[in-house]
Structure 1
């Protein structure tokens, strides 16, 4: 499994932002009310991923160093759990990029319209919160993916992966 490319996430977010901006521009008056709390589930998911990455990093560090943890021994981490978390991290990175693009499209339409439309001020706040929380989800997912990577093994001669010069 290859890691998520940051460039792909940026291209996805920008493409979705443009598409979202076009949809919002065409149907702004007929869209339902956009409350400031709508993007909050992205923040909850980002927080959950960040806490999971922190806990997994601590458990893997204890397991790699083969030392007892702060509260005694720590259960070993199952490899399938790490693989599933890596897949979850990759999927969450793409979801965060999509939602950052969606909220970015709303923000792109609402910012220039603040003085002209009554709802644009609230929509700009909602869009800004959505972009920030979407980016936070991407960052947390990329961190979890990084924690799930297997470090290169070193042999007795100190070269990574057993390679010899």
Structure 2
């Protein structure tokens, strides 16, 4: 069971995983060693899945986001595995969600420019049969983040 200190630590670590232990400890009123042990426990329990570096998309020349809606007429386990394998070969596809409703999947694709989408499209359709694909260019990001809420009202 997570307590208030755990929630605060998780929130702080999501903001900056490189924050010094002394700073974290001060923020949750613990000694640095007790704070370190608590973080190790949160990792061991799986609350902290991993620590990563977030890259600046503009500096990495990937400013364009395209969302692709995919419909398929196939839903067999074999086809789904083929689809997962095809997705894994295209690094520009950074997220994929299976949906309810009249669209089966939504893909988030990051690219250097809109024209590059054709390259990604050809790579994907050469590996897996899809019924219909519709691409939507993101004009502006209104909210983006990686932090999860740690408390609920």
TM-score scaled to structure 1, two decimals? 0.20
Give the structure with the larger strand fraction.
2
Question: Greater relative contact order (Cα 8 A, min sep 6): structure 1 or 2?
Answer: 1
Give the structure with the larger helix fraction.
1
TM-score scaled to structure 2, two decimals? 0.21
